[in-house]
Amino acid sequence: MKKIIILVLILSVFIPLTQAEEVQNNNKVFDELKDEYRLASYFLNNLQTKYYKKLSDEDKWHYLEAFWKANDLDPTTDINEFVELIKVRIEHCNTFFTHFKKGWTTDRGRIYIKHGKPYEIIKLKTTSSSKYPQKDFQIWKYRITDYYTYIFIDLQQHGDYRMIYSENDPNEGSWPDWDNYVGSDFDIGLLY
Protein backbone atom coordinates (compact mmCIF):
# COMPACT_ATOMS: atom_id res chain seq x y z
CA MET A 1 0.00 0.00 0.00
CA LYS A 2 2.82 2.39 0.90
CA LYS A 3 4.46 1.77 -2.50
CA ILE A 4 1.20 2.54 -4.29
CA ILE A 5 0.77 5.81 -2.41
CA ILE A 6 4.33 6.85 -3.24
CA LEU A 7 3.81 5.99 -6.91
CA VAL A 8 0.57 7.99 -7.02
CA LEU A 9 2.35 10.97 -5.45
CA ILE A 10 5.12 10.79 -8.04
CA LEU A 11 2.69 10.55 -10.92
CA SER A 12 0.53 13.36 -9.59
CA VAL A 13 3.42 15.75 -10.19
CA PHE A 14 3.53 14.82 -13.85
CA ILE A 15 1.03 15.01 -16.67
CA PRO A 16 -0.43 11.54 -17.23
CA LEU A 17 1.81 9.43 -19.40
CA THR A 18 -1.11 7.97 -21.34
CA GLN A 19 -1.89 11.24 -23.09
CA ALA A 20 -1.11 10.98 -26.78
CA GLU A 21 0.68 14.30 -27.04
CA GLU A 22 3.52 14.93 -29.41
CA VAL A 23 6.85 15.84 -27.77
CA GLN A 24 7.33 19.51 -28.53
CA ASN A 25 10.66 21.27 -28.96
CA ASN A 26 9.95 23.58 -26.04
CA ASN A 27 9.59 20.56 -23.74
CA LYS A 28 12.83 18.81 -24.57
CA VAL A 29 16.48 19.71 -24.91
CA PHE A 30 18.04 16.83 -26.87
CA ASP A 31 16.90 14.63 -29.74
CA GLU A 32 18.57 11.52 -28.28
CA LEU A 33 16.68 9.78 -25.48
CA LYS A 34 19.85 8.85 -23.58
CA ASP A 35 21.01 12.49 -23.51
CA GLU A 36 17.57 13.79 -22.56
CA TYR A 37 17.38 11.29 -19.70
CA ARG A 38 20.93 12.00 -18.51
CA LEU A 39 20.07 15.68 -18.28
CA ALA A 40 16.75 15.12 -16.51
CA SER A 41 18.42 12.64 -14.13
CA TYR A 42 20.29 15.59 -12.59
CA PHE A 43 16.93 16.58 -11.08
CA LEU A 44 15.17 13.22 -10.54
CA ASN A 45 15.07 11.40 -7.22
CA ASN A 46 15.73 7.65 -6.87
CA LEU A 47 12.07 6.67 -7.02
CA GLN A 48 11.49 8.67 -10.21
CA THR A 49 14.61 7.13 -11.76
CA LYS A 50 13.50 3.57 -10.94
CA TYR A 51 10.07 4.26 -12.42
CA TYR A 52 11.57 5.75 -15.59
CA LYS A 53 13.79 2.72 -16.20
CA LYS A 54 10.76 0.41 -16.32
CA LEU A 55 9.09 2.35 -19.15
CA SER A 56 9.13 1.67 -22.88
CA ASP A 57 11.11 4.13 -25.01
CA GLU A 58 7.93 5.89 -26.13
CA ASP A 59 6.72 6.23 -22.54
CA LYS A 60 10.16 7.44 -21.49
CA TRP A 61 9.80 10.33 -23.94
CA HIS A 62 6.36 11.13 -22.54
CA TYR A 63 7.70 10.94 -19.00
CA LEU A 64 10.53 13.35 -19.79
CA GLU A 65 8.17 15.72 -21.57
CA ALA A 66 5.93 15.67 -18.50
CA PHE A 67 8.97 16.31 -16.30
CA TRP A 68 9.93 19.43 -18.25
CA LYS A 69 6.32 20.66 -18.28
CA ALA A 70 5.99 20.11 -14.53
CA ASN A 71 9.07 22.29 -13.95
CA ASP A 72 8.02 25.10 -16.30
CA LEU A 73 8.59 28.35 -14.42
CA ASP A 74 5.55 29.99 -16.04
CA PRO A 75 3.05 27.50 -17.52
CA THR A 76 0.87 30.37 -18.77
CA THR A 77 3.34 31.11 -21.60
CA ASP A 78 4.03 29.10 -24.77
CA ILE A 79 7.72 28.90 -23.89
CA ASN A 80 8.99 26.56 -21.20
CA GLU A 81 11.23 28.94 -19.26
CA PHE A 82 12.85 26.11 -17.29
CA VAL A 83 13.94 24.34 -20.49
CA GLU A 84 15.26 27.62 -21.88
CA LEU A 85 17.21 28.26 -18.66
CA ILE A 86 18.70 24.77 -18.82
CA LYS A 87 19.70 25.31 -22.48
CA VAL A 88 21.57 28.48 -21.50
CA ARG A 89 23.33 26.61 -18.69
CA ILE A 90 24.27 23.77 -21.06
CA GLU A 91 25.77 26.27 -23.50
CA HIS A 92 27.82 27.79 -20.66
CA CYS A 93 29.00 24.34 -19.54
CA ASN A 94 29.96 23.30 -23.05
CA THR A 95 31.90 26.54 -23.51
CA PHE A 96 33.80 26.48 -20.22
CA PHE A 97 33.91 22.86 -18.98
CA THR A 98 34.43 20.79 -22.15
CA HIS A 99 37.61 18.70 -21.97
CA PHE A 100 37.50 15.36 -23.83
CA LYS A 101 33.74 15.22 -23.20
CA LYS A 102 30.91 17.72 -23.43
CA GLY A 103 30.91 20.18 -20.56
CA TRP A 104 27.32 19.50 -19.55
CA THR A 105 28.25 15.86 -18.78
CA THR A 106 31.11 16.75 -16.40
CA ASP A 107 30.85 17.02 -12.63
CA ARG A 108 31.07 20.81 -12.75
CA GLY A 109 28.54 20.83 -15.59
CA ARG A 110 26.04 18.78 -13.60
CA ILE A 111 26.26 21.11 -10.61
CA TYR A 112 26.12 24.24 -12.79
CA ILE A 113 23.04 22.94 -14.61
CA LYS A 114 21.30 22.14 -11.32
CA HIS A 115 22.14 25.35 -9.47
CA GLY A 116 23.45 27.92 -11.95
CA LYS A 117 26.36 30.23 -11.31
CA PRO A 118 28.00 29.70 -7.91
CA TYR A 119 27.78 32.44 -5.31
CA GLU A 120 31.56 32.14 -4.93
CA ILE A 121 34.38 30.18 -6.59
CA ILE A 122 37.72 29.82 -4.83
CA LYS A 123 40.60 28.55 -7.01
CA LEU A 124 43.55 26.93 -5.25
CA LYS A 125 46.41 24.44 -5.70
CA THR A 126 47.04 21.41 -3.55
CA THR A 127 50.15 21.54 -1.39
CA SER A 128 52.91 19.05 -0.65
CA SER A 129 50.82 17.67 2.23
CA SER A 130 48.18 16.35 -0.19
CA LYS A 131 47.90 13.00 -1.95
CA TYR A 132 48.55 14.76 -5.29
CA PRO A 133 50.68 17.91 -4.85
CA GLN A 134 50.31 20.92 -7.13
CA LYS A 135 46.91 20.03 -8.58
CA ASP A 136 44.35 22.73 -9.29
CA PHE A 137 41.13 22.56 -7.34
CA GLN A 138 38.08 24.76 -6.95
CA ILE A 139 35.61 25.32 -4.16
CA TRP A 140 32.14 26.25 -5.38
CA LYS A 141 29.74 27.79 -2.89
CA TYR A 142 26.01 28.24 -3.32
CA ARG A 143 23.90 30.18 -0.86
CA ILE A 144 20.41 29.41 -2.10
CA THR A 145 17.89 28.15 0.46
CA ASP A 146 20.53 25.80 1.84
CA TYR A 147 24.27 26.22 1.84
CA TYR A 148 25.76 23.92 -0.80
CA THR A 149 29.53 23.59 -1.10
CA TYR A 150 31.47 21.48 -3.60
CA ILE A 151 35.16 20.80 -4.20
CA PHE A 152 36.37 19.87 -7.68
CA ILE A 153 39.96 18.75 -8.37
CA ASP A 154 41.81 18.46 -11.68
CA LEU A 155 43.82 15.30 -11.04
CA GLN A 156 45.13 14.89 -14.60
CA GLN A 157 45.74 18.63 -15.11
CA HIS A 158 43.80 18.69 -18.38
CA GLY A 159 40.73 20.61 -17.21
CA ASP A 160 38.44 17.71 -16.26
CA TYR A 161 37.66 18.58 -12.66
CA ARG A 162 36.18 15.73 -10.59
CA MET A 163 33.93 16.43 -7.63
CA ILE A 164 35.47 15.04 -4.44
CA TYR A 165 33.39 16.84 -1.81
CA SER A 166 29.76 17.86 -1.45
CA GLU A 167 28.10 19.45 1.55
CA ASN A 168 24.32 19.67 2.16
CA ASP A 169 23.36 18.24 -1.24
CA PRO A 170 21.57 14.93 -0.63
CA ASN A 171 21.92 13.95 -4.31
CA GLU A 172 25.71 14.29 -4.43
CA GLY A 173 28.37 12.46 -2.47
CA SER A 174 31.89 13.04 -1.24
CA TRP A 175 34.88 10.78 -1.70
CA PRO A 176 35.65 9.11 1.65
CA ASP A 177 39.23 10.42 1.62
CA TRP A 178 38.52 13.80 0.01
CA ASP A 179 40.61 15.61 2.63
CA ASN A 180 43.74 13.68 1.55
CA TYR A 181 43.38 15.26 -1.88
CA VAL A 182 43.43 18.84 -0.61
CA GLY A 183 46.04 18.17 2.10
CA SER A 184 46.33 18.29 5.86
CA ASP A 185 47.08 22.02 5.78
CA PHE A 186 43.80 22.81 3.96
CA ASP A 187 41.87 25.60 5.68
CA ILE A 188 38.51 23.95 6.40
CA GLY A 189 37.08 27.44 7.03
CA LEU A 190 37.11 28.00 3.26
CA LEU A 191 34.12 25.67 2.98
CA TYR A 192 31.85 28.05 4.92
Contact 124, 148 (CB under 8 A): no
Residue 174 has pLDDT above 60, yes or no: yes
Residue 19 has pLDDT above 90, yes or no: no
Cross-strand pairs, 162? 153
> Which pLDDT score, from 0 to 100, does residue 25 have?
59
Model confidence over 60-95: pLDDT tens digits? 999 999 999 999 999 999 999 999 999 999 999 999
3-state secondary structure of 147: strand
- pLDDT, the chain, mean: 89
Cα angle for residues 34, 40, 45 (degrees, 5° grid): 120
Model confidence over 23-47: pLDDT tens digits? 345 789 999 999 999 999 999 999 9
Mean pLDDT across 46-56: 96
| Sheet hosting strand 120-125, strand order edge to edge | 120-125, 136-143, 147-153, 162-167
Residue 165 has pLDDT above 50, yes or no: yes
- Read off the DSSP letter of residue 59: H
